[in-house]
Structure 1
Amino acid sequence: MKNLIVIGGITATATGLIIAVQSMCSNRAGELIGPINTGFWTNILGGGLAGLFILGIGLIKGFDSVKITPASFNLTLLAGALGIFIIMGVAYSISIAGLSAGLAAIILGQMAFGALADARGWGGLDPIPLDSRRIIGLVTMAVAVFLLFPKD
């Protein structure tokens, strides 16, 4: 179980690096076409690319390997819709706060929601209590975000 947790942590860190690069690209695109257009175009182009991947995998492995179930459709639709607003928010906020402070603030928001979701068991695992140790971790992260914001 510990090895699985370490692998999960390494994967999450690598994903964080990819999110940072995506955020930087969204910020730069937002400077050129605005954050709203960036949110729409990122998802349109990414969706087209995902469609090509689904088609390719379906042709190679069979379309049963890429099917979407009725139970997962609404969750996937909601996640995709939220993704549009995420890109818009990233493109806007990072242009004001800077990449490191903006990403740290985004991560703080994710951590705060994650702690709530863990405490309620919304993520599909047994609830993880929101104890003082976890609250101190969130407060420490909030202080780190504050310290990363530009001095202006």
Structure 2
Amino acid sequence: MMITGILLALLAGALVSLQTIFNSKVNERTGSWSTTTMVLFTGFLASFLISILVEGKNTFSLQHMQPWYWLSGAIGVGVVFCLVQGMKLLGPTYAISIVLTSQLSFALLFDAMGWFGLEQIPFSWNQLIGVLVIVGGIILFKFGGSMKSSRTSAPSNQSH
């Protein structure tokens, strides 16, 4: 079970990266809101058809759901729009790195607080250190090359 979960999480990461690239390419030809509309509409069609095929009538069984869970689609609008804009301004690798770090940080907060119906998972400093190591990696990734090139391009003062 754990291996399956890891493989699915890895696949999700690959799909998010792929979708982000495709969204960025669509956004080059249209506006951000058009891109967001197209992405979410095609996602709706695909998920609706798959749900009908896999779950049949249970697709429409929506009892015992907290009302605020219905906001998930509206949240998706924010996700797609912000990701498309972030990609345009930062480039794919840097934007995705920040998105995933933010996602991990908020998941840590939501777990630790037990918000939104999650089982509360005690916070540990190791978790925070892990997130900070990732942030450090992003900073190194983004600025490490420019620090190196600025050091090598600086004139050397070798007068003896």
- The answer to whether the superposition gives a TM-score over 0.5 is yes
- Cα deviation code 1:8-45 (max 9, x no counterpart): 22211111111110111111111211222211221122
2: distance between equivalents of 1:70 and 1:127?
24
Instruction: Please give the residue correspondences for 1:85-96 in structure 2 after superposition, counting only pairs within 5 Å.
Output: 85-96=78-89
What's 1:67 paired with?
60
Q: CA RMSD in A?
A: 2.2
- Cα deviation code 1:46-94 (max 9, x no counterpart): 2123233334446xxx413x22313337455311111111111111101
2: distance between equivalents of 1:28 and 1:126?
39
Q: Equivalent of 2:139, from 125, 133, 146?
A: 146
Instruction: Please give the residue correspondences for 1:2-151 in structure 2 after superposition, counting only pairs within 5 Å.
Output: 4-57=1-54, 62-64=56-58, 66-72=59-65, 74-122=67-115, 124=117, 126-149=119-142, 151=146
Identity of aligned residues (%): 20
Q: Contact 1:27–1:94 at 8 Å: present in 2 too?
A: yes
How many equivalent pairs are there?
144
Higher mean C-alpha deviation, range 94-103 or range 69-78: 69-78
Q: Which amino acid aligns with 1:63?
A: K
- SS for the counterpart of 2:64 is helix
1: distance between equivalents of 2:38 and 2:67?
22
Residue segments in structure 2 that go unaligned for 5+ positions in a row? 147-160
Residue segments in structure 1 that go unaligned for 5+ positions in a row? none
2: distance between equivalents of 1:24 and 1:40?
16
What's 2:156 paired with?
none
Q: Which amino acid aligns with 1:28?
A: K
Q: Contact 2:110–2:118 at 8 Å: present in 1 too?
A: no
Q: Which amino acid aligns with 2:83?
A: V
Larger RCO (CA under 8 A, 6+ residues apart):
1
- Cα deviation code 1:113-138 (max 9, x no counterpart): 00001101236554222221111111
- SS for the counterpart of 1:130 is coil
TM-score by length of 2: 0.78
Deviation for aligned residue 1:99: 1.3
Distance 1:138 1:120, change over 3 A: same
